Amino acid sequence: MMNNKSMRANSHPPEEQQGTLISVLVNAVNQWKRQNDWSRETVADQIVQSHVNNSSHLVTGITFEITGNDEYRRQHTNANKIFRWLDELTKDNNLLPANFIKSILKALPMPLRLKTVNTLLLDLELTAKPIVYGTKVEPLEMLRQILQETSEVTNAYAQLVDGIDPGELELALETSATAIATLTEAKAVIQNMLMERQNGKK
């Protein structure tokens, strides 16, 4: 007879599918770690910094070692704590506290954060988009972001042409939301630049 841990491990979906809330967050953290060629300690330290910078440790009561002479030991201890919470395959208890989810998401870079949130919202038939503040961005950086996101969404839609395989619709939705958010942010930046130019002429 299979126990809960075995059933959950065997039923875990591939990375492109929905999965559990924890597995989606694990995939995001591991992707971020791989993209930057970071260690467990480094990616965990980024999450802890996000948690502390937003004063979430005061609101939630979830604390970490943030001072000490031995920096590696401190980071290693914090990494063990976070990755134990994210390990739902080998244990059934002491999993990720709900009040720490926001700190993980906040630490992620915006494109990956948006992708992760939209993956979590997929079953609810909802999508998220970033709040656009019209922060000034250099045109070259805007172009780079637009080319990257539109290229990804184009490739995702191209995969649908020869038949829809598992995960392809989800990928198309995720890349669409990210591309739309990028273009919306770029539009806000351009609008702000136009307003500044017009105000300067008065």
Task: Indicate the domain borders of the chain.
Answer: 14-108, 113-202
Place of tokens 């967050």: 25
- pLDDT mean over 8-26: 64
Share in percent of the chain as helix, strand, coil (round to 5): 70, 0, 30
Higher-pLDDT residue of 168, 188: 168
Q: Which residues, 6 or more positions from 154, have their beta carbon under 8 angstroms from its beta carbon?
A: none
pTM: 0.65
How many other CB atoms are found less than 10 A from the CB of residue 182?
Answer: 23
Structure token pair of residue 176: 């669409």
Dump pLDDT digits (tens) for 84-128. Answer: 999 998 888 889 999 999 999 999 988 889 889 988 988 888 888
| pLDDT category of residue 175 using cuts at 50, 70 and 90 | confident
Q: Is the pLDDT of residue 45 over 80?
A: yes
